Chain A
Amino acid sequence: MTRHMRMPGRLAQDGPSVSAARRHLGRRIGCALIVAVAGVALGLSVHHGLQTTTALLRPRSVRQSLVADRQEECIYRAIRSDLPQGAAVYINDQVHIQRLAELSTLWAVPQPSRATARWTIALVPDSSGVPASHARGRCYGLALEVRRA
């Protein structure tokens, strides 16, 4: 009370500046919170992404995907070496029907029914132990079976 009476002018000047300082402080805390929350969320996602990349690059994963890739290309070439171009084929293999249809594209013409096909194709397990060779239709554990319809 005494202070109020001594320096009323000073108090009138300090009031707004104190509230402005508080407002600044509040804004800075708010900004810091936004930066922190956004930073943590983004950081966690980046961490997750790096883990995914690391997992994909593990030697075992790389080996597995390389084998799958080679198998795919081997079957693709086997179709091109074992069938004449434009052959009407029936895919007699419900498990690998998509795979064989996609790898036949632009070479053989998959038929919806056996009646219109000249050839039937399927992928069968290859336990011969012979090294992969598309010329013999053997592709990393699978073999392309081609028959006249």
Chain B
Amino acid sequence: MTELLVVIVGLGAPGFLLALAVAGASPVLVFLTPLIGAGLAAVAAVLELGVGGSLFAWYVVVAVIANVAVVALWLAHVRFPTPPDPPWEWSILTLAVVLLALMIPLMALRAELIGGDANSIWLTHALMVSGGHHALVTGLKNPVYSFSNPDYPPLVPAAGALAFALFGRGDLHIAPGTTVLLNACALGAVGTGIAALGGGRRQLTRLGGVAAAGVICLVGFAVAGQFGVDGYTDLLWAAAAVAAVIWGLVLPRSTQALVIAWICAGVATLTKNEGLTTGLALLVLIALRYRPLTLSWVRRLGRHSAGKRFGGVAAWPVTREWAQRAAFVVLPALPGLAWTGVIRRLGLSDRFFQSPSSETLVLRAHATLDGMAGQLAVAPVAAAVLVAGCCLLRRDRERAGFGNPAWLWLSCLASLLTIFATYVFGGFEIYGWLAYSVNRTTIFAQLLLYAELAIWLVIALDTAFADDRVEQRNVSPAAVSVAGRRS
């Protein structure tokens, strides 16, 4: 365990300044730091594969460039306009509750679980990445290793390879152990996001938010089950994507929340192929929330066609808006897209689609619907709470500046549709494939729906306490007069 903590600190050290610049003294800093470090390691792995050299050398280069850039921005007095930090006692309480909640499922690390994909995919790739460019390329292209999904993104293998660089390759368990701690960090980002919902409100709401933060961390590990603690990466991409939804699509709009959402979505895109597609969908939704579509461009274009002399001037703001939206999507996803590009250049592709299936699409669709529905028992409860919340608390939600719940549900649908299409159009025998994986591919949707419950819970608590005060205010003069009459 001590070795794992050293690895996490080692991963976090190069990411600390970046995380500090983004998160300030917010409790999310603690969880964002190792995630940024792992993201930098993934960028180094992309360069190792695409350019050459070793992971460690590229990691040092990437970390130095990133930190020099932050220091340069700092010296140039460029600051993220961050909302005021929460009072330190609330930050400490949030951190303590979230860490405590994460430590309970992490006790399972004592069992040193390992096996399945944690070995055949992630440990294998971590060893390849730690062997340098040649070992990585020949390993990924070796047909014997086709079982290991050579096209999978590099964040987890890169973090594992850094662990090997620190402690040698003698203890294989250190790589899956690092993944488990990264799972916890991603869940910590979800928890601190939920706690931030109660920030700046009355104390009871804040307490409710902090409690909900601890609960959602426990729920994350509960949804993932054994796969959260044995080196599988499904919880990592799912929790990172849920954190991106909460910071980017639920919490009030701010530069800080946007950048945290980008980092979390970037982590999701670099972790697994499902994370890449879901992360891209989330980045599109975040771009649309921060740069909403309006009909003004239609009017501008109308004006442009009416008076062509000023056409260039009229079209410029429209072009700029679309360029900003595109940048909002492409920049955070750039490392993930670069990895995909390099992998395609090597001639490697997703093995799910390599051979056509002999089963009919209808049969596959039916089996997939059944399989996915079996995992989404929370969906009807979340939908009921959504309806009740929209009827009763819509205005409270708007007043608090939280995003429309449609964003969250659209994220959920986008992910589920992508996964549904993969099962339906993929080549594997459908029943075996579902039995092996559907409980993991739906972790994002499940966790997101539980997060939706936690969000409404915090809003309902705030409203209930607010109503209490309003009633007390309305009632108190009467109570005084009654008391006066009695006296």
Chain A contact residues, CB within 8 Å of chain B: 24, 26-28, 30-35, 37-39, 41-43, 45-46, 48-50, 52-53, 56-57, 61-62, 65-66, 68-69, 72-73, 76, 91, 97-99, 101-102, 105-106, 109-112
Contact = CB atoms under 8 A, between A and B. Distances in A.
Contacts of A48: 222
- Please provide the 9 A-B residue pairs with the shortest distance between their CB atoms, ordered closest to farther: A49-B222, A38-B453, A110-B144, A30-B392, A31-B460, A105-B127, A38-B457, A31-B464, A34-B460
A42 B454 contact: yes
Contacts of A101: 124, 144-145, 147
Given A42-B212, A91-B144, 8 more contacts: A27-B467, A34-B456, A38-B453, A42-B215, A50-B104, A65-B112, A73-B172, A102-B148
Contacts of B193: none
Contact of A34 (B104, B111, B113, B457): B457
Contacts of B86: none
Contacts of B341: none
Interface in B271-327: none
A66 B111 contact: yes
Interface of B: 104-105, 107-108, 110-115, 119-120, 123-124, 127-128, 130-131, 135, 138-139, 142-145, 147-148, 169, 171-173, 212, 215-216, 218-219, 221-223, 225-226, 229, 378, 381-382, 384-385, 388-389, 391-393, 450, 453-454, 456-457, 460-461, 463-464, 467, 470-471
A65 B114 contact: yes
B112 A106 contact: no
Given A33-B388, A56-B111, A72-B172, A41 B453 contact: yes
Contacts of B173: 69, 73
A41 B470 CA distance: 30
Contacts of A31: 392-393, 460-461, 463-464, 467
B218 A46 contact: yes
Contacts of B378: 41, 45
Contacts, number: 165
B453 A42 contact: yes
B385 A34 contact: yes
A106 B135 CA distance: 7
A34 B389 contact: yes
Contacts of B384: 37
B464 A28 contact: yes
Contact of A65 (B111, B120, B382, B457): B111
A38 B463 CA distance: 15
Contact of B145 (A53, A69, A110): A110
B470 A24 contact: yes
A35 B457 contact: yes
Contacts of B454: 38, 42
A111 B144 contact: yes
A53 B418 CA distance: 31
23 contacts: A27-B467, A30-B388, A32-B460, A34-B388, A34-B389, A34-B393, A34-B460, A35-B457, A38-B460, A41-B381, A41-B450, A43-B215, A53-B108, A57-B110, A62-B111, A66-B111, A66-B112, A69-B113, A72-B114, A98-B120, A99-B119, A102-B127, A106-B127
Nearest to B378: A41
A21 B454 CA distance: 27
B130 to A, nearest CB: 7
Nearest to B470: A24
A41 B446 CA distance: 12
Contacts of A38: 385, 453-454, 456-457, 460
A130 to B, nearest CB: 23
Contacts of B107: 53, 57
A27 B173 CA distance: 52
B464 A35 contact: yes
Contacts of B388: 30, 33-34, 37
Nearest to B105: A53
A116 to B, nearest CB: 11
A72 B215 contact: no
Contacts of B112: 65-66, 69
Nearest to A40: B381
Nearest to A46: B218
B144 A112 contact: yes
A52 B225 contact: yes
Given A33-B388, A46-B219, A105 B450 contact: no
Specify which of B124, B135, B229 lies most central, judged by the most chain A CB atoms within 10 Å of its CB: B124
Contacts of B145: 101, 105, 110
A49 B467 CA distance: 34
A84 B115 CA distance: 26
Contact of A110 (B130, B142, B212): B142
B428 to A, nearest CB: 16
A12 to B, nearest CB: 18
A49 B105 contact: yes
Given A24-B470, A105-B139, A112-B143, A62 B110 contact: yes
B128 A37 contact: no
A39 B382 CA distance: 11
A137 to B, nearest CB: 18
Contacts of B144: 91, 97, 101, 110-112
B124 A102 contact: yes
A73 B223 CA distance: 29
Contacts of A105: 124, 127-128, 131, 139, 145
A45 B101 CA distance: 14
A98 B124 CA distance: 10
Nearest to B225: A52
Contacts of B453: 37-38, 41-42
B463 A49 contact: no
